[in-house]
Structure 1
């Protein structure tokens, strides 16, 4: 491997729910902080530990999006008038126990997300207006689609993956489509050591992320309680030329595509996003714990791993790499 430029995971000592987007030669990176939107700016994600970072927006002291600010994502989108600007999608609420989480939209009309001013655009009211988190969007042939994790009704018990259309980056239209429920045995791990914990009654599908390759559209999602080492990633697949708002167009993998590797010391890998390099590579950015029984708290770190492709167009995520294992940088 002489002459190859290498990197090792993790990229930072802390960073749950990592997200990145490449724009004008820079990677803009963010993750959950609960209290603000912080953006890192770097030419290479492998150098994230040395990147400049900037707090561009803080949650208010009180109000409907003042608590539990999770899973921010950055997207550079047409505002509906033909002009592009930046949008951040984040999950937040007013309840410290996260019982009223909704998806909120921030807007920045500058072409550089480090410049200009980030302002609250609105709550992203999803069809049926239920509890919702982890909103992500994709633009396909001029049509925006939103995917998120939400409840069917008004009380917790199960998080599902939903899809709907959008008329602009902050407005949903039509009905929501149920894409995935945690019904397969591998998706139903939610045991909490505390027998009185409400988590023992919660089943989870969350953190959807779009991925395109050739004639397919994929949604990578996470399942099981993040408080368990069984937190892992599943896969939904549809052909790009199919009716994406028809549930029969989607196929669900019956086994996880990325899961804990005890041998490599990578536990609970999940909440990923996918990006493509100028050289044509596909990479997964995700978080994982460095040991067992670490849960959802302060040891989840952001990591990179390349996705390879089978001849039939299906992805091969491999096994989560061990920390400090040298790998070739994205090119």
Structure 2
């Protein structure tokens, strides 16, 4: 059964997809297989993003902390300016813990058009511990701007946990972070102990955070956190965590490792899950360097209790 009104794949060879709707236009940004640049597409419709020409707005420098493996960018419009959050490393080499060495960085564009405007580097977004860090997003809630990301904790096993902090400005934290989730269930610990790629969705009286778990092969899947809109998000006990994944590999539909999602809306207000997945499992070498994590779209529905229903990744179709 086809549960997506869009072609699947939607955009090929674009992982970690992020779609922003702003002033009736849709903007698309994602990881490119070369991990060497940031590019943006814009179209007046979701469907138009498929054929929109990508515009390169930044390329990695030849050396320095942002010179390797540019991962999982997000584009945000904050207080009249544009910002791109992205992870970058100084090297492709792994560290003593056998992990990549990424940190989070921020670009700013004060011009009206982010495709033609001038982007300036605001530098690293510093957090309290200097460890592997990636997949940041930002959102407004309860009148405050929040920063939500994944990072390695020195004293917690695994690759990354999900953290939340209030922001002083779009490139600086204001509060100490709180940890919202760490890999603890078996489905979060397949291949690697991973919680990453958080994305925010609100519905009714709840705020939801989806996140990706486990290794980036067919084990990759989505988990879910949620909190009452009026509750204090800086109190971890106010958060709820689904004990089972909410979006997983479909062997029947040949969709493997769905994850690293964002959310957008149709013009009539329907919620859209934006994610990547492969259509095969036979990966040679490191899954990270396999380019065929394609961007895919799927409508989300809501049950009678106001909880999101992610369903099953639909099969490839034109």
Q: TM-score normalised to the size of structure 2?
A: 0.92
Listed one character per residue, the Cα deviations across residues 72-109 of structure 1 (whole Å, up to 9, x for unaligned) are 0000012xxxxx10000000010213632100000000
CA RMSD of aligned residues (A): 1.7
SS of equivalent residue, structure 1 residue 31? strand
In the TM superposition, what is the alpha-carbon distance from 1:6 to its structure 2 partner? 4.8
Q: Is the 8 A contact 2:43 2:52 kept in 1?
A: yes
1:24 and 1:172 map into 2 onto residues whose CA distance is: 27
Listed one character per residue, the Cα deviations across residues 196-233 of structure 1 (whole Å, up to 9, x for unaligned) are xxxxxx4111100111111111110000010x311000
In the TM superposition, what is the alpha-carbon distance from 1:310 to its structure 2 partner? 0.9
Q: Is the 8 A contact 2:46 2:266 kept in 1?
A: no
1:156 and 1:181 map into 2 onto residues whose CA distance is: 9
- Show structure 1 runs of 4+ deviating over 6 A: none
Partner of 1:242: 231
**Aligned residue runs from structure 1 range 220-299, under 5 A:** 220-226=210-216, 228-294=217-283, 295-296=287-288, 297-299=290-292
1:323 and 1:208 map into 2 onto residues whose CA distance is: 25
Cα 1:155/1:318, change in 2 over 3 Å: closer
Partner of 1:19: 18
Q: How many residues align?
A: 304
Partner of 1:127: 128
SS of equivalent residue, structure 2 residue 11? coil
Partner of 2:97: none
Partner of 2:7: 8
1:6 and 1:16 map into 2 onto residues whose CA distance is: 20
Partner of 1:204: 194
Partner of 2:149: 148
1:240 and 1:293 map into 2 onto residues whose CA distance is: 43
Q: Is the 8 A contact 2:5 2:298 kept in 1?
A: no
In the TM superposition, what is the alpha-carbon distance from 1:24 to its structure 2 partner? 1.9
Unpaired stretches in structure 2, ≥5 consecutive residues: 95-99
- Larger mean CA deviation between 295-304 and 85-94 belongs to 295-304
Q: Is the 8 A contact 1:159 1:205 kept in 2?
A: yes
Unpaired stretches in structure 1, ≥5 consecutive residues: 79-83, 191-201, 326-331
Listed one character per residue, the Cα deviations across residues 215-266 of structure 1 (whole Å, up to 9, x for unaligned) are 111110000010x311000000101100100000100000000000011111
**2:20 corresponds to 1:31:** no
In the TM superposition, what is the alpha-carbon distance from 1:156 to its structure 2 partner? 7.7
In the TM superposition, what is the alpha-carbon distance from 1:188 to its structure 2 partner? 1.1
- Larger mean CA deviation between 172-181 and 102-111 belongs to 172-181
**2:298 corresponds to 1:305:** yes
2:114 and 2:276 map into 1 onto residues whose CA distance is: 23
- Larger mean CA deviation between 96-105 and 50-59 belongs to 96-105
**Aligned residue runs from structure 1 range 149-168, under 5 A:** 149-153=150-154, 157-168=158-169
2:190 and 2:278 map into 1 onto residues whose CA distance is: 17
SS of equivalent residue, structure 2 residue 15? coil
In the TM superposition, what is the alpha-carbon distance from 1:270 to its structure 2 partner? 0.2
SS of equivalent residue, structure 2 residue 50? helix
Q: Is the 8 A contact 1:267 1:291 kept in 2?
A: yes
SS of equivalent residue, structure 1 residue 158? coil
- Larger mean CA deviation between 94-103 and 256-265 belongs to 94-103
Q: Is the 8 A contact 1:42 1:52 kept in 2?
A: no
2:24 and 2:246 map into 1 onto residues whose CA distance is: 30
Q: TM-score normalised to the size of structure 1?
A: 0.88
